[in-house]
Copies of this chain bind each other. A is one copy, B any other.
Amino acid sequence: MEKKILLTDCPDDKGLIAKITNICYKHQLNIIKNDEFVDREQGRFFMRTALEGIFNDATFLEDLDMALPQGAERRLISTERKKRLVLMVTREPHCLGDILMKCYSGALDVEITAVIGNHPDLASLVQKFDIPFHCVPAEGMDRVAHEQQVAALVDEYNPDYLVLAKYMRVLTSDFVARYSGRIINIHHSFLPAFIGAKPYQQAYERGVKIIGATAHFVTDDLDEGPIIEQDVIHIDHAYSAESMADAGRDVEKQVLSRALQLVLQEQVFIHGNKTVVFK
């Protein structure tokens, strides 16, 4: 008995759930969990079906393709293959550390194939976990040249996703396009508040009573990509920008880890500039 996830994303139509679940039933695949959503404004249907059974992928997908409307996308994903990540970091260890620890303990079922930093600071932490660390300094290099070096490294590892675990550089359109829909960032504010640099300083100046973090897919527009997960913590007047940053680290790492978990378990659809997330 194998377990697979079927992801369907297509124009809305009558009877889609019946049609898809029929095909599962016909193929004697047991539905462990099924989630669906219709965006009525856009007329789009999303369904995630966790299946168990003996799969004949070719005939199953053939049957599906006959049943689904034009413009449908469907993917049948084995849960057995570990997904591959490349992490990108700068100097701050908390998000990186949480991910390393969760892989080590098995709480995140993923392979970290490599960590790339634009500073050497985190090399020794990464090496404790016997994972390759590559330092690609950006100094004295233009953005494009730097990213070419990074991309060359990334491509060696052939990751499913790139995770910006407090990578403090803005990426070019070319780099983003190269890994479209596959770069996940953690931003240290509850977006769309405090876009851009120094969100805790901005939060301090505005005198807010909550601070937060946002995990999102990276697109061309800085901090404007589809949001996967967000959370906040309460603060008060006694917090400086620095103590906000200290307090914010825990929520940053949690939000990034939860977003990663959702993405790795195929619970997230990208839908234009939004996400559909089945929890």
Q: Which A residues are closer than 8 A to B by beta carbons?
A: 14-15, 17-19, 21-22, 24-25, 28, 30-34, 36-39, 41, 93-94, 97-98, 101, 104-105, 107, 125, 128-129, 190-194, 206-210, 212, 226-232, 234, 236-238, 240, 246, 249-250, 254, 257, 271, 273-277, 279
Can you offer 16 A-B residue contacts whose CB atoms are under 8 A? Answer: A14-B28, A17-B17, A37-B238, A41-B240, A97-B101, A101-B101, A107-B249, A190-B208, A192-B194, A209-B227, A210-B212, A236-B279, A237-B271, A237-B275, A237-B276, A254-B254
A30 to B194, CA, bound (A): 35
The minimal Cβ–Cβ distance linking A269 to chain B, given in whole angstroms, is 9
Per DSSP, are chain A's interface residues mostly helix, strand or loop, or mixed? mixed
Bound complex: CA A237 to CA B128 (Å): 39
Specify the chain B residue showing the minimal Cβ separation from A209: B230
A26 to chain B, nearest CB (A): 8
Q: Knowing A37-B237, A207-B226, A210-B190 touch, does A94 contact B105 (C-beta < 8 A)?
A: yes
Q: By the criterion CB–CB under 8 Å, are A232 and B190 in contact?
A: yes
CB-based contact A207/B107 at 8 Å: no
Which residue of chain B has the shortest Cβ distance to A98 in the bound complex? B101
Question: B249 touching A227 by the CB < 8 A rule?
Answer: no
With a cutoff of 8 Å between Cβ atoms, the chain B residues found around residue A257 in the complex are 250
A208–B192 contact, CB under 8 A?
yes
In the complex, how many angstroms separate the beta carbon of A99 from the nearest chain B beta carbon? 11
B236 touches A277 (CB 8 A): yes
Closest Cβ–Cβ distance, residue A79 to chain B (whole Å): 15
CB distance from A189 to the nearest CB of B (A): 9
Which of A19, A210, A274 gathers the greatest number of chain B CB atoms within 10 Å? A210
Report the minimal beta-carbon distance from A144 to chain B, rounded to whole angstroms. Answer: 30
List of B residues within 8 angstroms of A33 by Cβ = 238
**Chain B positions within 8 Å of A28 at CB level:** 14
Q: Looking across the interface, which residue of chain B has its beta carbon closest to that of A127? A: B128
In the complex, what residues of B have CB within 8 A of residue A246's CB?
Answer: 107
Bound: A32/B210 CA distance, A: 24
